[in-house]
Each structure stands twice: as C-alpha cells, then as structure tokens.
Amino acid sequence: MAEHYDPGLLPRTYFRAPRVPYDFRAMTLGILGFLVYWAGGSLLSAAFRPSDLGDSVTYDIPGAFLAWALELFNRIPFIGSQIENLAKEALRVDVGSLSQYDGWDFTLGGIWFLAVWSFFALGIHRITTLRIARDEGLSIGDSLRFSARNWPTLLLCPVIIAAIIGIFWGCNALAGLLESIPGIGGVLAIVLGPLRLVSTLLIVLVGVGGVFGMPLISAAASWECNGSLDAISRAFSYLFARPLQYFWNYFLIFLFTGLILLVGSWFTTIYASSLDSGNMSDVMTVALNPPPRTIKDGVSAGKLHPDFVALSTEAQQIHKDLDLDLAENRKHPPAMNFATVTKVPWGYKLNVLVYWLLLNLIWLGVSGYALYWLIGASSSVYADLRADVDGTEEDEVFLEEDDQDLEALAEDGPAVEGAVAAGSAAEGAAAEDAAAEEASAADAPAADAPAEAPAPDATPEAPSDETPPAEGKSD
C-alpha cells in the first residue's frame, strides 16, 4: 500500500512551485483593474498634459511612474527585462521621454497606480487564497466588498514604510548638520559616524523590504486581515528569512507570466496574418500584417523592402503616417491601435474598427489573465513561505465568519457577563448556607445528642464444673 503524502512532514526550507487555481472571477477582476487603471490614467494624463506639448507626443502619467520604477530593476538579470515586458504588454506603458515629466507627475502616477492595484489585488488575492486554503469560491461582489473593507490597511503600508525611511533619513540629515558645526563637528563625526552607518543600513533594508515585499504585504492582508503593521512584519520576516526561495519563486512567476503574454502575442499575430492571407487590399494589409519599409540586414540594408514597394501609393502613405518601419510598432497588428482606424479611407473604416475591437478584446483577456496569475501566484508564495518559516498550515486563513462571531460575542457580552455573575452569586450563596449549616451542627450542645448505650459487661464467666455439696439429714 502506498504511503500517504503529508507536506507537513517535509523538512523546513523545501520548495514548491507557485500554483494558481484558475478562477474566472479572479481573471475578471484583473480585466476590471486594467480598465479602471487605463481609464483613470487617461483622464489624469489629459488633465495635467502641458499645453506646449504637440498632439503627436505621448503623455502618460501612470506609465511615467512605472517607467521610473522599472529603472530600479534594470540591473537584475532576466527579471528586469521580464518586469519591463510585463509593464509594456499587460499595462500598455508607452511614455515617450521621461524628461517631459516632473516630480509631481511621478508622484501622482504612483498614487494612482498603488490605489487601483492595491484595491483589485486584494480581491484577486482573496479569491485565490480561499481556493488554495479551502477550495472554496468567492463571488465578484463579495471580493469587491472584501477589498473595500481592507483597502485602508493596504494603502497605509507604503505610508508606514516611507515614514520609517524618512525618520532614518532625517537622523542622517541631522547628523550632517551637527557635523558641519566648526570646531566640534569633527568630534561629533567620530560619535555619529557609526550611527549614520546603522541608520543607512536600516534605510536600505526597509527600502528593499518595501519594494520586493509589496506582493507579500498584499497577500498577508488577504490571508490574515490583521492590520498594516502585521502585514509588513510578516512580509519582511519571510523575505529576509528565505530570500533565495522568494527570488526563485518570482523568477518562475515572471517567466510564466512572460510566456502567457508571448502566447497571447502569437494568437493576435496569427489571427491577423490569417485574415491578411485572403485579403486583396493593400490598405488592409497595412492594417493587419504590414511589411517593414526598409531592409534592416545584409548588403541591401537601408533599401526599400520589396513588399513595401509593391504596396499602393495610398497604402505606403498610411504606412509612413503610422511609422510602421519601427519594429516596435509592428510587434502587434496595427489594427489594435485606434490611430489606424483614423488613417484608413472611409471605405475601410468599419472593417478596421471591427478588427480593432476584436483584437483588443483578445488582448484584454490575455492581459487580465496575466495580471491575475501574477497576483494570484503571490498568494501561493506567501502560503509556502508561511508554512516554511512559521510552520503554519495553508488551510489556516482568516474567515469573515470568525469575525462575525467575535462581534456577536462583543454585543452579547454584557448580558452574558450578567448571567455569569448571577450564577456565580447564587452558587456563592448556596455555598455559604451549606457552610453555616455545618457550623451549627458542630456547635450543638452535648445534651441534645442521643444517650450512649451502656457498654456491655465483660465476657460472662464460664459455668463451674464443681457441684455444690448436698445438704445432709441431721442424725
């Protein structure tokens, strides 16, 4: 008979690959999150767009924040490029030059990004958490209500981390101020130098924990529902206790997320190419599967591409207007860009509009699934790290029923306490009465006690064997 497999019997620091049970409702939340993020970002960018920028210049405030944040990961092998690819493909980041943005743009974009994705990430985490822990589902409405209740917890986490960093930064600034005093500054530098090193180390550790631990902070808020400080402390503890396991998990997560986006790109390309294979219009060819304008490699590099020369003059002009000679602009079918709808002649606008709608719906589903898998995998990583570090079983998860029971107990507390107090008083009175009766019985006079029976005589004497002499007759 095969032995039963129990993960709890495995030694500590074991590795389990991230697992994300498929749930269409979590994927729907990923799509909703993208739509809200994109719509709000477009409104922000339009509202704060500088008036001196030309209409052809791209201006994306949330995307600018992401592009700035991605520079932190550029030096990480492989993962840096995967994170950049995820931002560009799933979140449609296209910011142009970062020099056209200022500090307020980055701040506003960061606030919008964190506000939107902290909300929807909580719902996705909760659905995935219940799937992993109890194999139960959760409706979209319940997940959104859960996000609304716990949203402040997650929003406070970046504020707390920034405040801690600010405190230690201020300590270093104060030390620099004191050391700049002529005369005693050199003496103070000897004393404050080691303290500055300690505070700088804490700044780096808190910053690293905040940046890399943010996915675990969001997952902890879903699993435990125990406040901002608890979520931060758990995420930092698991990150620094098992750094190799953490980074290996996220290497696999970003690898698989990139694979999802790659397959989605193949799907849209094959879809557009198959349509173009039966197409007889050069304009539709430019919209679906355009050739490059120039040859990029070989001895003929720089010359016009034969397929471009074969296009009609009208199609060539549309090709130039959309700048399709850039490989980046031909990564996806041009029909996915609404600018293509505006450039084609009226006779083709309806066709291209239908393709624009279908291709973007396809890519919206691909992006939603990629975002859902990325966020849901963090829930799995959190459960594995918690089991490895704390030995907590993965079926231990906060349930709202437990919170409702505690609230009911708190509401009924005075009545319960009154009943307990009354019962205790009754028991105390009964005990006192019993003690009084025992004392009365012990203090009663001896006369009232029943007379004792006389002690029986000693053992009766045995009858004598001698016969008394008989009285004789007198003579």
pLDDT tens, 303-351? 888 889 899 999 999 999 888 888 777 888 999 989 899 999 998 999 9
* pLDDT bucket at 383, cuts 50 / 70 / 90: very high
In a domain, 94, yes or no: yes
pLDDT of residue 187 exceeding 90: no
- pLDDT of 459 reads 47
pTM, entire model: 0.77
How high does pLDDT run on average in the chain?
Answer: 82
The b/e string for 327-358 (b: 16+ C-beta within 10 A; e otherwise) is eeebebbbbbbeebbebbeeebeebbeebbeb
Structural contact between residues 98 and 68, judged by C-beta atoms closer than 8 angstroms: yes
436, pLDDT greater than 90 = no
In a domain, 273, yes or no: no
The whole-number pLDDT of residue 121 equals: 95
Amino acid 418: pLDDT? 54
Whether residue 265 is contained in a domain is answered as no
Total count of domains within the chain: 1
Arithmetic mean of pLDDT, 81-95? 77
Confidence of residue 472 (pLDDT cuts 50, 70, 90): very low
Rounded Cα gap, residues 360 and 304, in angstroms: 31
* pLDDT, tens only, 438-465: 656 555 554 444 444 454 554 445 444 4
pLDDT digits (tens, 9 = 90+) for 207-266: 999 999 999 999 999 999 989 999 999 999 999 999 999 999 999 999 899 899 999 999
Q: Please report whether residue 78 resides in a domain.
A: yes
What's the confidence (pLDDT) of residue 298? 74
| Helix segments in 278-345, DSSP class H | 282-288, 306-309, 313-321, 338-343
Q: Is position 453 within any domain?
A: no
pLDDT value of position 428: 58
What pLDDT does 78 receive?
74
CA 255 to chain centre: 19
pLDDT band at 64; cut points 50, 70, 90 = confident
Give domain status of residue 84, yes or no: yes
- List the domain range (segments joined by +) for residue 22: 15-254
Any domain includes 354: no
DSSP 365-419: HHHHHHHHHHHHHHHHHHHHHHHHHH---TT----HHHHHHHHHHHHSHHHHHHH
pLDDT of residue 416: 47
Q: What is the spatial distance between Cα 226 and Cα 229, in angstroms, rounded to a whole number? A: 8
- Looking at the domain assignment, is residue 388 inside a domain? no
